[in-house]
Amino acid sequence: MANLLLVSSSLFDDTSQSGQMAEEFVTRWTDAHPGTEVVRRALSADNIPHLTLATFTAAATPADKRNAAEAENAALADTLIGELEAAVVIVIAAPMYNLSIPSTLKAWIDHVARAGRTFRYTASGPEGLLTGKRVFIVTGRGGVYSGDSPAKGFDFQEPYLRAALGLLGLTDVSFIHVEGLAMGPDSAKAARARARAGIADLLPEAVAA
């Protein structure tokens, strides 16, 4: 049974445009791949704290050498990494906040990027260890930053996510942009239609089913 991990990071919970479209993607995926087990990880400031010196130090300490306090401090990151390692498919709902990603999604990346576990240092540079997985990222954007948009140079969301996930060995990454959402009702409607068309291109077997 293949595992699908859905990571959402919007402040708007169920009304999130990126979250809703990501759920549509997951529905199409599971329709086309019966038996898929879906694990949902909704990120918030309450459940994904930023790194502290204590959590960073604990995560860098081998599990068999941690004391009780270090084991407790590393427990959340261990859980998040376990979810990521178990997943064959990863879907990330990532709204654009101030030209980049939510701080909760950055904190999640900080927790799961662990030298010796999800990547390692080699003589030729870092090597990702989470290979062989597919990643689909659904963004929600008020403006338009893709294609030949004059605002493309202000997109620090997609390049960062590609680089950060690539560090972990997650290089098979596809983006579905739901953009132009703040440019009026017609633009928002068109954005959702384009995103659904993008999902159809990525999952033709699900559309045909």
Q: Tens digit of pLDDT for each residue in 25-79?
A: 999 999 999 999 999 999 999 999 999 999 999 999 999 999 999 999 999 999 9
pLDDT at residue 208 greater than cutoff 90: no
What's phi and psi for 122, nearest 5 deg? -130, 175
Query: Token pair of 174, please?
Result: 């596809």
What CATH number does the domain located at 3-208 have? 3.40.50.360
Distance CA 143, CA 160 (A): 18
8 Å CB contact between 128 and 167: yes
CB burial of 74-95 (b: ≥16 within 10 Å; e: otherwise) equals bebbbebbebbeebebbbbbbb
Q: Where are the domains of the chain?
A: 3-208
* pTM, rounded to two decimals: 0.94
8 Å CB contact between 138 and 25: yes
